[in-house]
Structure formats: C-alpha cells, structure tokens
Amino acid sequence: MIKIAITGNIASGKTTVQNIIERRGFKVLDTDKVGHDLLQEMPEIKATFKNQDIFDKDGKISREKLGQLVFRNKEAKEKLEQIIHPAIREKILSFFCKNANEEAVFVGIPLLFETNMNDIFDKILLIYTDDTIRKARLMARNNYTSEYAEIRMKSQQSQDEKKALCDDIIYNNSTQSDLETHVDEFLNRTIKR
C-alpha cells in the first residue's frame, strides 16, 4: 500500500483534489474533518479553553470563535495543537490499518510539515496555488477581512518552503477541468494500475 499525503496551504484546493481522487475510487481521509469532529469529542479541549469565548449558544465549541482565538494568540494555538495533533496522528494510523488491502490511500493534511507527520507517508503531494488567488478565495469563501485572511495564510509554513519537501506538485491556478487533468496525470505516474 502506498500512503500518500495531500498537503497545501489554506484555500489551495486540497479538498477539491481529495474529492477528485475519491471519485476515482480511492480511499481518502480528510484530517480537517477529523479535527472538527475531535473538537467536539475531546473533553480536554473544552476544559483547556473553558474561560474563553469559544462556545456557541448550545455550549459546543464554535470553530469560528476558536479560530479567531488561536490565530491571534500563539499560546492558545500551541495548547490546542498539543491536544489535537497526537489524536489526529492516531486517526491516520487507524485509517492505514483499516485500509491495509488498498493499493493506495490518501490523507488530506494541511499541516503535514508543521506537525512533523511526514514520516508516516510514502509520498507527499503539494497543491500549490498563488497567494493572491488563495487570499481572494478566503475572503469570498469564508467572508474573511483582508487582514484576517493574511493572518490565516501567514500561520502556515510558506508554500515555497514546502515545495522542496514534496515528491510531487499540482499547480491549481486555473480551471477545475485543468485541475482534474493534473490529478489524473499524478495518479497515472504514481500508481501503476
């Protein structure tokens, strides 16, 4: 089994690529979704941030409020990461075990290098999108201000630094159709069917 990480910075199109790969019949784990589920499942997160304004009216953790806190407060961000990243790693390893008979499996993991999880993958695919396009997407998709979009983008290691650490790169600066073509080319050269 080939274990392939799909990484890329915020608003680069990782989820779109994951969806294309899934439609091609491969198993894909989205660690963004895993992380969102863990926010509600892990009581230690609620306990750690109980005095912060991160809860919605039902007492559940609001991802938006938590994001506003951790992306403006380095200490809060580090606390959250110390709790959630080991749990995400366990979910990835469990996904590998559950799909051990597959020819190849994929894991969408935006913070691959920031969390030092690259050691559990055989190949790393970077989805690279120009910063101006990513910023525009963030502002349109998430209704972020220009300032907050910049904060979110700068919270990650730069795309250019990541390029040197990856086995393959798909540039996502064009159309959906072009992206699908690039994904198919990647699959053809990576997985010999």
Which residues, including other chains, have CB under 8 Å from residue 6's CB and lie 6 or more apart?
14, 17, 18, 21, 28, 106, 107, 108, 109, 125, 127
Helix, strand, or coil here: 47?
A: helix
pLDDT for the residue numbered 193: 56
- Whether the CB-CB separation of 108 and 28 falls below 8 Å is answered with yes
Name the pLDDT band for 108 (thresholds 50, 70, 90).
very high
- Whether the CB-CB separation of 29 and 44 falls below 8 Å is answered with no
For the segment 120-137, what is each residue's pLDDT rounded down to a tens digit? 999 999 999 999 999 999
CA 49/CA 26 separation, integer angstroms = 37
Q: What is the mean pLDDT of the chain?
A: 93
What count of other Cβ atoms lies within 10 Å of the Cβ of residue 111? 19
What count of other Cβ atoms lies within 10 Å of the Cβ of residue 172? 24
Tokens read off for 32: 């963004």
- Whether the CB-CB separation of 97 and 90 falls below 8 Å is answered with no
For the segment 43-59, what is each residue's pLDDT rounded down to a tens digit? 999 899 888 888 888 88
